Amino acid sequence: MIESSHHSHDAALAAVPPTPPSAVAAVTVETHLLFIPDVQRPHWLLWGQDAVHSPLASLGVLTSQVIPDQTLKLRRVRGYRLPLLEGVAQLVALKQNELTTLPASIAVWSVASKFALELVAREQFVPRVLKQSGVQVARWSVVLNQAHDLQRFEQLVSAFPVAAHAFPYQTEAHDVSDHRSSQVWSAAGLLRQCLDAVADQLVRAAQTIQVQKKTKRPSRVAAVDSTEVWPKRWHHALAGHDPEFVPGGVTERRVLAGLRDWVQPVLMPVRSLSLYLELSMPSAPDSNEFILAFGLQSKQQPEVQVSALTLFNQSEVAAQLINGEVQVAQEQLLQMLAVASRSFIPLELELRKSKPESMLLKPRMVYDFLLQVYALEQLGVIVRLPEVLQTEQRQRLQLCMRIGEGSHGANRQSHLKYRWQAVLTGQSLSVADIDELLELRTPLARFNDQWVVLNQRELLHAAKLLAQNEKPEICTISFSLALSLALTEVITQPDSGLRIQVIAEGELSELVAQMRSRDILSQLPSPPELRAELRPYQLRGMSWLVQLTQFGLGACLADDMGLGKTVQWLAYLLHRRALHPHDSRPVLLVCPTSVIGNWEREATRFAPTLPLVRHYGADRHQNAEDFLTQVTGKLVVTSYGLLRRDLPWLKDIEFAVVALDEAQFIKNSASATARAARSLQASERIALTGTPVENHLAELWSIMEFLNPGLLGKREAFRREFAIPIERYGREDVALRLRRMVAPFILRRVKTDPNVISDLPDKQESKVFCSLTREQASLYQSVVNQSLLDIEDSEGFARRGRVLALLTALKQICNHPAQYLKEEGPLAGRSGKLDRLLEMLEQVIAVGDRALIFTQYREMGERLVRVLSRLQGATVPFLHGGTSRAVREEMVRRFQEDPRAPKLLVISLKAGGTGLNLTAATAVFHFDRWWNPAVEDQATDRAYRIGQQRNVQVYKMMCAGTIEEKIDAMLETKRDLAARIVSQGEAWITELDNQQLRELFALAPNAVVGDTSDVDELAELNDQPQDRLG
């Protein structure tokens, strides 16, 4: 019988044509990006055998170019030619944390593009006159003269892979046969070219857009007559499409020389010394005079510096310090001071002396100086400020909102008092104090023996707020608003844009401190009705959910997949029922269709006393009245699809709790699903998700907006102020601020968390019950109906063959209709099991884990590869019986070691002594069942081996209500059967009598059949992974 089952598999394999070579060769991902410094049209070249899969390719046209290939031999390669700025727009959209997984050359050019945009945004660019291809042209160049920029430039250069800069230095010289003597661009040289080109093109593109805005159609910047005066022609050469700038006569040739010298001070790092200006506090405590000293400082070695005092009076010492010519240094100092005096005019006074050494500044001048810091830094001047005047440290008016004074014994129904406070240098100000400060009419004043920066607008606004304190009756807010404001800490007044510090007082402040420290206020006991023993971290999770929701706050439980969010939530629900025995409002759980069955099983298993209603299928309630008669005090489970469909009346129902499972389904806040979720009414809101929400900020906003509306501000503002700076531009400071804001509302434990890991077994197995799609269900039903008749009519060997064939057919249908029908049609949305796999793998990829997916069918494996490659954005390798040893080893090596390799590996090998070591995987999926625990364990042990440091999650996927679930249940209950399977495989089924077969094969009434898509079309449209390159 074992023979026979083997045989049928082999036959199935033979029916499939051999895998085309490309599918195997695609093990290595190869895409390269090169900046082409073509003086007329600088552009990008995208090439490599996988370039066609890169989203960048859609921007380009096919081209070819002679460049060094991977072996550094000059070769004509084919690739895509991408326009410069369009490429930049795509490259800057890449997230910083994706860089390590992208092809190295795309990663460095992405960072370079961001750098170029930042330099232009800071106006760090100047016009120059150059000779290009023998013609005088006017071009824009970036200015790299600040220490921070030079440092980033160096950092970026050192990260350049050869693929990103090896472009032949002079194309005329190239000769394919002679590559020995050839020169290519250096990383620094090509990066500089690129930064300049982006600045230049941005100026010109901005003009084209300006013209388009005015004329409503694309058009050129108006042409300029060649007889026009030179400033007009120069302007045109700097703004239009033609940069040529031909000087007319001697006068203009002189102009050219003048223009060149003009930008030299900022453009080329010809000088190794920069001017520094150092402001110090008044020397005496009662003095009003700040000291501005200056001197020169080395750009490379900041410790090399010489003050003007030394430079003019101790030339021997100065020569030692700067290791250079003193007169030259003195002249540099004077020249740069003269330049700086254009921005900060008082410097001219000091320059009226023979030896400018330092000067004294009155407070008003100090304030003017502070205003000029940015302009001075643009010139390459190093500005040093005393600590108390540095932007972050400056003492200025702080507006505070103090909430909860005397809030003793407040609960979530209470209203809390608040009052405004204006604080300066730690002292609370009265309205009279503010009036006095306004009287001073100075931007920098001494207050309480400290220097403070004053802003008239802020002072006036503070006076207005303080006046409100006179009417305490209007100064109250609800408890939950108070709590969420206090947890946010800093709010921005919508009308004034001023930042206000929120300070909690009394019991509220204790509560805030506890929540912030993530201490559970009190660890609650496990509810007695729960039929599961909660691990310590799960008990903490439950207590956290109970307490956060009690304060009227929405909570997001974002534990890693496999840590038991379901059981924690069920425990919370049981706890809540005990707490509010008279609350008869229903509880709504929204989840993807694919897990409805799973939820029902888990609920009945862990919380059998919890009455559960399935709001699903055609026979569900169709209006609020019918619905309410059935659901009082019950847990209602529905899908995202039906939430959208039944929203017109669901939104009128008052729920006790609304929970979203797999809350990443509302990651697109503009989608109908997200809007539907937000319009539900509930006292308590909970989101469950396994994706690290804190790393996906659009998703974070959407989920938080569902949980705690308004907490993170408007979507667009959030995107601008938080999401983009953090994700694209690596702003760790902004990330910290956001993390602090949202931390109280999100509980996320990871498998590697030491508090969790000690609780976990090394290998965790769980069964994943999936639903069938309508197509699967009807196919299943008709195959069963037909085959059972045939089986009942036959006997002996023929009967056994038919039973096994039916078993195989049903397993194939459970996998995917396309597998059973042997067709190449579309795959998404047709199999509940596949959809569920995709949902789960998305989370695996999101947390950076790696997974193995086992199937016993090669034809299913190939289909999985097709779908998973799309999910991964790169070809997912497929290891099967036909894979050669060399390719197999390369697949294993890449999976184990290469950070840029796909995170998934599909395997259709029957377990055997092939010695595969795949310990990089932390998740193992059995897409279909062998039924043989020994075989399954052997497969699982590819990942779980000695030496594996991490926990491994094993998921056995099966369709609820089908043969898959039934056999699984029989194995669970009948030990002897399990033993027989180990020795005989599936042959035992053939020995069942007709009645038993009928029961085994019939589709159970509890099988969930999908009928509405969970993902709405709008969401699909917006969720195109545009930013995944390579």
Partner 1 sequence: MNKKNKIAKPVARTMHTWWGQRWIEALEHGSRDVVVRLGKGRAYARDGRVHELKITSGKVIALVDDDDLETYKVCLQLEVFTRQRWQRILRAMSQQALFTGQLLNGEMPRDIESVFHPSGANLFPTSLHDMDVDCSCEDWSSPCKHVAATHYVLAEALDHDPFLLFELRGLSREQVLSGVSRLRTGETSLPARNTQDQPTIQDAIALDDLSSEDFERVSVGLNAISFDFDVPTGSGSLLHSLGKPSAWNVSESPQELLGALVVQAKELAIALAIDVHPDARLNLAHVRDKVIKGKVSPSVDETAQDVSLHVESDVGE
- Interacting positions 122-141 with partner 1 (CB under 8 A): 122-134, 136, 140
Residue from 223, 268, 438, 828 in contact with partner 1 (CB under 8 A): 268
- Report the 10 Å Cβ neighbour count for 274: 22
- Helix-helix angle 994-1001:774-793, to 10 degrees: 170
Nearest CB to partner 1, comparing residues 171 and 681: 171
Which residues in 19-78 contact partner 1 (CB under 8 A)?
30, 32, 36-41, 61-65, 68, 70-72, 74, 78
Q: Does 382 engage in binding with partner 1 (CB under 8 A)? A: no
Q: Does 988 engage in binding with partner 1 (CB under 8 A)? A: no
697 burial (CB, 10 Å; 0-12 / 13-18 / 19+) is buried
DSSP strand pairing (555-557 vs 450-453): unpaired
Q: Which element (helix H / strand E) includes 975?
A: helix 975-984
Smallest separation (angstroms) from partner 1 to the CB of 28: 9
Residue from 2, 6, 25, 210 in contact with partner 1 (CB under 8 A): 210
Q: Does 118 engage in binding with partner 1 (CB under 8 A)? A: yes
Nearest CB to partner 1, comparing residues 99 and 431: 99
Stretch that binds partner 1, among 369-377, 426-434, 450-458, 981-989 (CB under 8 A): 369-377
Nearest CB to partner 1, comparing residues 21 and 899: 899
Residue from 34, 56, 239, 804 in contact with partner 1 (CB under 8 A): 239
Residue 348, Cα to own-chain centre: how many angstroms?
50
Q: Does 730 engage in binding with partner 1 (CB under 8 A)? A: yes
Stretch that binds partner 1, among 87-95, 610-618, 828-836, 1006-1014 (CB under 8 A): 87-95
Nearest CB to partner 1, comparing residues 328 and 789: 328
The C-alpha atoms of residue 870 and residue 1025 are separated, in whole angstroms, by 10
Residue 723 is classified by DSSP as I
Smallest separation (angstroms) from partner 1 to the CB of 75: 12
Nearest CB to partner 1, comparing residues 239 and 954: 239
Question: Residue 583: which of 654, 636, 502, 522 has the closest Cα?
Answer: 654
Q: What is the residue-wise DSSP string for 474-531?
A: G-EEEHHHHHHHHHH-EEE-TTT--EEEEEE-HHHHHHHHHHHTT--SSPPPPPTT--
Smallest separation (angstroms) from partner 1 to the CB of 190: 8
Nearest CB to partner 1, comparing residues 126 and 757: 126
Nearest CB to partner 1, comparing residues 268 and 579: 268
* Phi, psi torsion values for 14, nearest 5 degrees: -65, -30
Sheet holding 904-907, edge to edge: 763-770, 952-959, 923-926, 851-854, 904-907, 878-879
Residue from 6, 15, 25, 155 in contact with partner 1 (CB under 8 A): 155
Per-residue HEC secondary structure of 320-375 comes to HHHCCCHHHHHHHHHHHHHHHHHHCCCHHHHHCCCCCCEEEECHHHHHHHHHHHHH
Which residues in 166-205 contact partner 1 (CB under 8 A)?
166, 168-171, 179-186, 188-189, 192, 199, 202-203, 205
Which residues in 452-491 contact partner 1 (CB under 8 A)?
none
> With contact defined as beta carbons under 8 Å apart, do 653 and 627 qualify?
yes
Nearest CB to partner 1, comparing residues 380 and 541: 380
Which residues in 771-800 contact partner 1 (CB under 8 A)?
none
Smallest separation (angstroms) from partner 1 to the CB of 366: 19
Residue from 15, 175, 212, 822 in contact with partner 1 (CB under 8 A): 212
The C-alpha atoms of residue 982 and residue 934 are separated, in whole angstroms, by 7
Nearest CB to partner 1, comparing residues 264 and 287: 264
Residue from 12, 33, 143, 906 in contact with partner 1 (CB under 8 A): 143
Question: Residue 193: which of 353, 390, 38 has the closest Cα?
Answer: 38
Q: What is the residue-wise DSSP string for 783-805?
A: HHHHHHHHHHH--HHHHHHHHHH
- Helix-helix angle 456-468:431-440, to 10 degrees: 160
DSSP 3-state assignment of 307?
A: strand
Number of residues that bind partner 1 (CB under 8 A): 169
What does the buried/exposed string (b/e) look like for 558-596 if buried means 16 or more CB atoms within 10 Å of the residue's CB?
bbbbbbbbbbbbbbbbbbbbeeeeeeebbbbbbbbbbbb
**The pair of three-digit structure tokens given for residue 44, joined into one six-digit string:** 């990008």
Residue from 9, 75, 235, 715 in contact with partner 1 (CB under 8 A): 235
Q: Does 1026 engage in binding with partner 1 (CB under 8 A)? A: no
Q: Does 269 engage in binding with partner 1 (CB under 8 A)? A: yes
Smallest separation (angstroms) from partner 1 to the CB of 324: 5
Which residues in 870-929 contact partner 1 (CB under 8 A)?
899-900
Q: Does 162 engage in binding with partner 1 (CB under 8 A)? A: yes
Which residues in 692-711 contact partner 1 (CB under 8 A)?
none
Smallest separation (angstroms) from partner 1 to the CB of 139: 8
